Amino acid sequence: MSEKTTHFGYETVDAKEKAGRVAGVFHSVADNYDLMNDLMSAGIHRLWKHMTIEMSGVRKGHKVLDIAGGTGDLAAKFSKIVGSEGSVVLADINESMLKVGRDRLIDRGITENVTFSQADAQYLPFPDNTFNVITIAFGLRNVTDKDMALRSMLRVLKPGGKLLILEFSKPTSSLLSKIYDTYSFNVLPRLGKVFANDSDSYKYLAESIRMHPDQSTLLQMLDSAGFENTDFHNMTGGVVALHRGIKP
């Protein structure tokens, strides 16, 4: 893989094309994004996200950045925790996803301490040392240059601030891995076709999970980016992993 090419699922594409290709996928699935998460995780994504919030250590008055914030489920919960003295930025590179998230939070009356930013994780448009906590749930695998994005997140964290990455990962048992593959590549695209009339996007999402760095590799990437006290916690047998790192 050269510096000018990258993965789009199992395809090798020009690095400059990936963001546009990913945008097309999420424009397509934005209105059905919560359904997509339910299909991909059998509904368990809510428990994974609850664990992310618990391990974030977010407190009243904190400033939180939720990257690839999707429909705003994490941002809504963070908003309640940080209160009027804190703030939450829901960021997403995709305009359609950001609009869905903004509309849903407004519909729920969550407007006081939440702002919205159409932002690329590789080039976060925030000052250095801004946030106490950054989360990115099921978004890092879609980023073209993950190392650049990790350095960008480190830059905008305050010293002592925490990054949490929730992402599909590598199952720890071969049996679970086989079951997972069968579901991802045979069942999921069919469900996408039936429920969202879009099998291709779901096929890409399954492939993007397989191309994402495994637990140990992502841990090394966090270390290389400059994070300290890094660790990860497998959930559901490694189908998902939650990585953590602290800014020195």
Residue-wise pLDDT for 151-207, tens only, equals 999 999 999 999 999 999 999 999 999 998 898 888 888 877 887 777 777 788 788
User: Which domain CATH number covers 127?
Assistant: 3.40.50.150
Domain presence at residue 25: no
Q: Write out the two tokens for 91.
A: 């960021």
Is 38 a member of any domain? no
Residue 69 banded pLDDT, cuts 50, 70, 90: very high
Domain for residue 54, yes or no?
A: yes
> Is 187 a domain residue?
no
Give the pair of three-digit tokens for residue 172.
Answer: 């720890």
39 within domain boundaries:
no
Number of domains into which the chain is organized: 1
pTM: 0.89
Mean pLDDT value across the chain: 89
- Is pLDDT above 90 for 21? no
Neighbours of 221 (CB within 10 A): 20
Question: 227 lies in which domain range?
Answer: 44-169+213-246
Q: What is the dihedral of CA 4, 170, 155, 246, to 10 degrees?
A: -160
pLDDT at 2: 46
The answer to whether 49 and 166 are in contact (CB under 8 A) is yes
Q: Is residue 82 part of a domain?
A: yes
Interatomic CA distance for residues 68 and 73, integer angstroms: 11
Q: Which two tokens stand for residue 153?
A: 């997140």
Answer left, alpha or beta for residue 22, where phi above 0 means left and psi between -120 and 50 means alpha: alpha
